[in-house]
Every structure is written in C-alpha cells, then in structure tokens.
A and B are shown apart, each in its own frame.
Chain A
Amino acid sequence: MVDYVLRRLLYTIPSLLGIVVVCFFLTRLSGDPTDLFLPIDASEEARDAFRVQYGLDKPLMEQFVAFFYKALQGDFGNSLRFGEPAISLLAERLGATIQLALATLFIAVGVGIPAGIVSAYYRNSLLDVAVRSLAAFGQAVPTFYWGVLCILIFSVWLKWLPTGGSGGLVHLILPATTLASTLVALLARVMRSTMLDVMRQDFVRTARAKGLGEFTVVMRHVARNAFIPVLTVIALQFGVLMGGVIVTETVFSWPGVGRLVIQAIYARDYPVVQAVVFFFALIFVLSNLLADILSAVLDPRVRYK
C-alpha cells in the first residue's frame, strides 16, 4: 500500500512539471501585459521601461529558464499588478476558497446522498421521477445563470440574503448552494445507481431474511456499501470544484482564488496565473490520488499491485 502511494506520488511530478511548462508558454502566447498595464496611448519610452522592469524584454527562453529555476524552489515570482509574491497573494485568498469549497461539499453530500437513497428505494415512483428530473435540471443549468437567478430572487425580491461579498455564514449560503447545484445532482444520480446495484446483491436478501428492519437494511447494509464508489466520486469532484469556483466567486464577489486568477488572466499577470494554475493542478492530482487510495482502503476487494 505504502509502496503504491509513493509510486503514485512520484507519477504526479512529471504531470505537474508539464503543467508548469505548458502554462508558461500559453500565457505568453496570449499577449503582452504592457498593453494591459499601461494606458493605450502610453509613450514608447514608458512601454520599454515597463518591459525592462519586469524582465519582459529578455528572450523568451531566457525568461523561461529563470522562471523554471525559481519555480522549482517554490518561487513563482512577483505579481505584475501587486508587486507582491504570487504565492503570498494565493495564500491570502486560499482561506475564502477552501471555506466555499467545504460548504459546497457539505451541502452536496447532505442533499445529494439522501436524495439518491430515497430515489433508489422508491425507484420508478413519482418521488424517484421528481428527484431524477431535478437532478437532470440541476446539472443542465449553468452555474452563472443559477447565481444571478438566486441573487434576483433571494436578495433583490425577498431581501433575505446579501448579493455577495464575504462576512458571516449568510454570505456563504448563495454561493455554496449555487456551486453545489451540479454536484448535488451528480451525487444523487451516482448514489441512486450504486444503491440499485447493491440492493440486488445476495447479502441484502440475507439481511432481510434475518428479520432486520427495513430502515436498518437500507441504511446500514445497502447505503454504506453503495457509498464507497460515491466517496471516490466526491474526491474526484473536489478538483472539478476548483474550476467551478472561478465562476461562482466572480458572480458572488467572493474574495477567493478564483477571483484572483480570473483577474490575473485578463491582465496577463503571468506570475499569478502560473502560481494559481499550478496550485489547481496540484489539488486536482492530489484529489485523484486520494480517490484511488480511498477506494483501496474502504473496499477490501480493491487491491493494487
């Protein structure tokens, strides 16, 4: 097991390095920050001074070598906009994003799993159809649309919740529910189908034959076993969640990493884009790894050589 984990960890290194390289050249292909940082009618002299100051006048390969060497030591350089290390800007916003991601997971699991259980148990009933339709709807409606719609209903009309920003728990409700909407739907559907699989198993019939109550059979025997594959889905989705954060944070003016990176992309703030993309990639790779490990640990039938 330890061997397996170590090997998987080693495998992540080339993919992370690859991401760093691709990200470096992609951002540079997409334009010159000088055009975005200085007013369009800035003088040629000012533009040159700006390029020299940030090392943008050097040949691309030279810039790359300097960047790569520093990145290996964990230094992604200073933000062009803020003049501060990109890593510390990232760290500053990380708390808000983690808060949002955890709240989202909490809602997604809290709503999606029970919905899946109910839907599977009463399969083909009206309730099941309702849950499945809602799930399809939730997955189909884009996050940004949900967000604006929720703001209109709950903030402008009902005046129950703030339109955005950060502060107390109230500020978390709308962004977390919005971000959770697709995840809830996914979890409900996966939970439902794995439940149906498990319910057909012999040990379930045995449990019933023992005379156990229906609730115990469903919750302790069926749901617990059905939850294992769902857990790996959750771990996998954590990486995807990071992508959703970009849209949600923008709609709800949530001061997290997603906001930081979208602004950095628009401004061609290379160091920040690189730091955040690397970080997201890291989260993605690690949550994939976690998913594999979890299923190995929880399901004795899964063993890795």
Chain B
Amino acid sequence: MTIIRRTFLSGLMSVSLLASQFVGVVPASATEEGVLSIAQGFDPVSLWPNYSTTQEQINVGSLIVEPLFWVPPDSDEAQPILAEGYELVDDKTVRISLRKNIQFTNGEPFNADAVVHSFDIFTDIKTTPAYGRYSVVIDRAEKVDDHTVMLYLNQRYPALNLVLSQVFIVPPAYWQEVGGPDGFGSKPIGTGPFKLADWVRDSELVMEANPDYWGQAPEGIERVVLRPIPDDMVRASALMAGEFDIATNVPIAASAQIGGQSGLEVLSIPSYRIFTVSLSNLPGQESPLHDVRVRQAINYAVDKEGIIKGLFQGQARSLNGQLLRKEQVGFNPDISDYPYDPEKAKALLAEAGYPDGFDITFKFPTGRYAQDREVAEAVAGMLGAVGVRTQMVSLEPGEFLRQLSGRELQPMGYVGLAPADDPDLQLSQYRSDWRYSYVNNPELDTLIDAGGSELDRAKRQEIYSKAMRIMHDQAHVLFLYQGVDLYGVSERVDGFAPRGDQRWVIYGMSLN
C-alpha cells in the first residue's frame, strides 16, 4: 500500500512538474520583429518555380529564384526584374536585354548563358511539362552578347508577356551539379532577395534575407517563415491567435471574424477563376442541351445574385454574361448577365418542346472549390423549379478532374477554370477540339484562332468581344460567378498585393 501511495505521489509530482513547464509559454511562432510569417494550405513540393504552375509553390520559390519579368496585378505590361526590357525585332523575334552586375548567391554570374540555359530547360517538355502550353511557342533562345538574348518564336504570339514572365533563371553550373529539377527544387540557388535557410517538409520553411541582393530589398523583412496548415478554418484561427502575418485562402465563414479583430484585415481579391456549368452540345453527347432555347432557359432559371449573396456573403462577383473580366482585352460592355426569370425559362422550355421539363445528369466536385457542393445544390434546386430535374452526381476532386479532361463531365458539369490572364488562354478552352471543351461552334473556333495570332490590341478587342457575344447568345455555358480569393493579413504588413491567380511577389512589400 505504501509503495502504491508513493508511486502515486511521485506521479503527481512529475505531472505538476510537466505542467509548470507550460506556464507562461507563448505559442512558439508568435510574430517576431523582422520575421514575415505566412500560413498557406500546403508545403511546396519544389522550390524551383518552373516545377509546376501551382501558384502557392511559385510564390515561395520566387523569393529565391527570380524571373526576367513580372506582370503586376493592375496591368498587363511586363515589368522588368532580371531583364532591363525587351523589344520585338519582328513578329517572331524578341530581343531581351539583361541587367548587369548581378550574381547568383553561389557566386555564378547572371548573364546571357544563364538565361539561354534556363530557356532550354523551360522548352524541354520532359523537364518542364507543366509549362508546355507556353513553351510550345518558343523555338529557341540564343546568346547575342553577355547581356543580350534573342528569342525566336514559332508563331506570332499576343500573350508574349505571359511567356516572358514565367521563365525563372537558374545558375547553369549549380543546376548541373545538383542534377537538375529534383536536386535544385530542394536546395535552390537564385538571384532573389532571400536564401533558403532551413526546410523541414510539411512543417516549416525558413528563408533569410540575401545580404548581397542586387535590387531593392523588402524593407524590414529579415526572415520569411512559411508553415503549411491544411485545414482552412485552422489556418484562419492561427492568424487570429497571432501566429502569422498572412494566411492565404481563409474561408468565407471566418472572414467576418478576422475582419472584426483589431490588427487584422481581410483582403478580397477578385480571382481569375470563372465558374460556369458546362452545357454540352458536342456530337455524340446527345441531350436537350443541343437546343439553344434550352441552354438559354437554364441561364434564365438560375438566380446568380442570390447565390453570390446567399452562399458567398457577397464574396464573389457576377460575370456580366461573359467569360472575360472587365479588365481584359475583349470584354464586351454591351453584354450583361441573363436576368433571373423563371417564367421566361419555362416559356423557352415549352417552346423547345419540353413543356413538362426533362431529366438530366448534373455533375459537380465536392471539396475542390469553395462552397462547391452548396452551389451545385442551389443550381439544381432552381433548375428543378422550372422543370429541369437534375440527377446530381458528386465527384471527389481527383475523379472530377479526370472526368473533366476526359470530356465525361457531361451533359452538365459545374466547373471553375482559372486560365492565365489572357483572352486566348481563356477562350481556347472552348475551341471544339480542345481536350475538355464541351462547346461545338465552328464560328467561335474561327474567332478563337484569329485572336490567338493577332498582335494588334484593337483588333483583338474586336475579335474577342464578338466571341463573347456569340457565347452569350448561344448560352454555351450557364454563366455563374467569378470567384474571390480571401487573405487574412496583419496590419504590420504593407504592400501585399496578390494577383487574381493567387500569385504574389515580395517586391514592394515591407514589415513595420
């Protein structure tokens, strides 16, 4: 008995000792001076920015490895970073002049050889498959002198800025030394304002300021710490607990709470992601949707504003009845959204020969987009009210992508596509032979081809606004809404300006 009592007592002691360690403990990564701490959804796989087109990954890598150009959120002009500028020698030849006296942090010089080497990697589809869509227009890059590179294109290409801003420059000797992408991705060397200090996968990534940075270093930021927090709600909570300066992709449910906390604000960035329901009129995918009146009826039947207000608390935008955003070349100001008019929808359905409506399959992802299931349910409910009875098929995100790209997301599929910021990249997804296009319209195809090789801005505007008109009148998709990205940001951060594709750069940022 005594033994037991003594054991019990010593147990109690050790517990209280343990407890005393925790008293007065501040959460380990509370924000410190000079340290910019960021919480995002996942840990990068590679810090080589050209490894994938996943923006959260590029954002991190590009603190170390820099591109030639950057296209800021408020413009479509390329702003030079490692380049001084570029000029078109002719429609298919680009002369790029490079900044001088820049070194990689391992001492290798930044020069034309490094740039040509990086272009070679970029155009090698085996090494850089994610960028095949951009590199396909590049024939080759050649060195002219130490600080000039000539880029030869295969075709006239209007979205040249997009290509130029996506090539990240790596040091050639070091690239060989670490054996290419895999080695470089875990131990990157660049010319950027930061250097990799420590990286424990899925736990913490620490970067330190590069003391020899060639350009204007972000003020007050000595270190950048990134931690992956997969759960959206927890990420928002961690920001509110004061553990971070920036939390990306915070859920709508938490945004009011974050905004209400002093010292924090919610940044609401209109996204490049456009949400629609595809309405297939492809040959071989027979359904009532082949009749334009049915497709129009579906557009009249859905209350887009209701969805934006009810499900997104206003954190989404209406589409103006077209896929292009107001800021883009080709936006057609004469088009507006189909009004919410169930009576008109019923009349159109009756006219098309479906006075009692019809049954149709409607596929949607669950867990891929914010509120995806809720939106799909709302759409199905509104369609049901006019007689379009949907059989809803919920898809896991991976299976959803497989079906989307296999043209199996038909006859109706809810999708949010976020192409790069150019009308050609947006619209070519609807060309009738594109892998995941559900639209069959030869007239539209002709316009898409014309716009894709037109360099004159005014002419592009004309071509694309015509295309917008056709897509709208033909109601090739159910136009839903434009997404919004929400960031929770501490007030000690200045100059944080993400783009609508979730890309942001540290240039111009500072920490108070």
Given contacts A38-B130, A250-B231, is CB(A32)–CB(B28) below 8 Å?
no
Given contacts A44-B435, A162-B27, A215-B1, is CB(A156)–CB(B201) below 8 Å?
no
CB pair A43 B133 closer than 8 Å: yes
B204 interface residue per 8 A CB criterion: yes
B458 interface residue per 8 A CB criterion: no
A92 interface residue per 8 A CB criterion: yes
A163 interface residue per 8 A CB criterion: yes
CB pair A46 B130 closer than 8 Å: yes
- Stretch of A168-176, A184-192, A227-235, A288-296 at the chain-chain interface: A168-176
- Stretch of B82-90, B290-298, B399-407, B474-482 at the chain-chain interface: B399-407
Residue in B4, B29, B202, B396 whose beta carbon sits within 8 Å of that of A93 in the complex = B202
Given contacts A36-B401, A39-B53, A41-B425, is CB(A163)–CB(B203) below 8 Å?
no
Chain A residues near B231: list those with CB within 8 A: 148, 250-251, 253
Chain A residues near B404: list those with CB within 8 A: 35, 40
Docked complex Cα distance between A46 and B240 (Å): 42
B448 to chain A, nearest CB (A): 13
- Nearest B-chain residue to A152, judged by Cβ: B237
CB pair B52 A37 closer than 8 Å: yes
CB pair B419 A216 closer than 8 Å: no
A155 interface residue per 8 A CB criterion: yes
B306 interface residue per 8 A CB criterion: no
A271 interface residue per 8 A CB criterion: no
Given contacts A42-B133, A43-B136, is CB(A251)–CB(B52) below 8 Å?
no
Docked complex Cα distance between A182 and B380 (Å): 38
A20 interface residue per 8 A CB criterion: no
Docked complex Cα distance between A164 and B227 (Å): 10
Name 10 interchain pairs, CB-CB below 8 A, sorted by A: A32-B402, A39-B133, A40-B417, A41-B419, A151-B237, A160-B22, A162-B238, A165-B29, A166-B203, A253-B202
Residue-wise, chain A 39-54 has the 8 Å CB interface mask toward B (1 for contact) of 1111111110110010
CB pair A155 B397 closer than 8 Å: no
Docked complex Cα distance between A36 and B402 (Å): 8
Docked complex Cα distance between A116 and B44 (Å): 46
A266 interface residue per 8 A CB criterion: yes
B residues 232-283 touching A (CB-CB < 8 Å)? 233-234, 237-238, 240-243
Given contacts A250-B230, A255-B202, is CB(A167)–CB(B402) below 8 Å?
no
CB pair A31 B132 closer than 8 Å: no
Number of interface residues of B (CB under 8 A): 56
CB pair A162 B243 closer than 8 Å: yes
> Which 9 pairs of residues, A with B, have the shortest CB-CB distance?
A46-B132, A255-B202, A162-B27, A46-B129, A255-B203, A163-B238, A83-B182, A35-B401, A43-B132
Chain B residues near A42: list those with CB within 8 A: 129-130, 132-133
Docked complex Cα distance between A36 and B403 (Å): 12
Chain A residues near B182: list those with CB within 8 A: 82-84
Interface size class on chain A is: 35 or more
Residue-wise, chain B 96-140 has the 8 Å CB interface mask toward A (1 for contact) of 000000000000000000000000000001100111110010000
B312 interface residue per 8 A CB criterion: no
B residues 152-198 touching A (CB-CB < 8 Å)? 181-182
B residues 195-237 touching A (CB-CB < 8 Å)? 200-204, 227-231, 233-234, 237
Task: Identify the interface centre among B18, B129, B133: most chain A CB within 10 Å of its CB.
Answer: B129
Given contacts A31-B402, A35-B401, A259-B230, is CB(A92)–CB(B130) below 8 Å?
no
B496 interface residue per 8 A CB criterion: no
Residue-wise, chain B 44-66 has the 8 Å CB interface mask toward A (1 for contact) of 01000000110000000000000
Given contacts A39-B133, A49-B129, is CB(A155)–CB(B238) below 8 Å?
yes
A159 interface residue per 8 A CB criterion: yes
B42 interface residue per 8 A CB criterion: yes
- Nearest B-chain residue to A51, judged by Cβ: B129
A220 to chain B, nearest CB (A): 8
Residue in B133, B200, B234, B401 whose beta carbon sits within 8 Å of that of A255 in the complex = B200
B398 interface residue per 8 A CB criterion: yes
Docked complex Cα distance between A31 and B52 (Å): 19
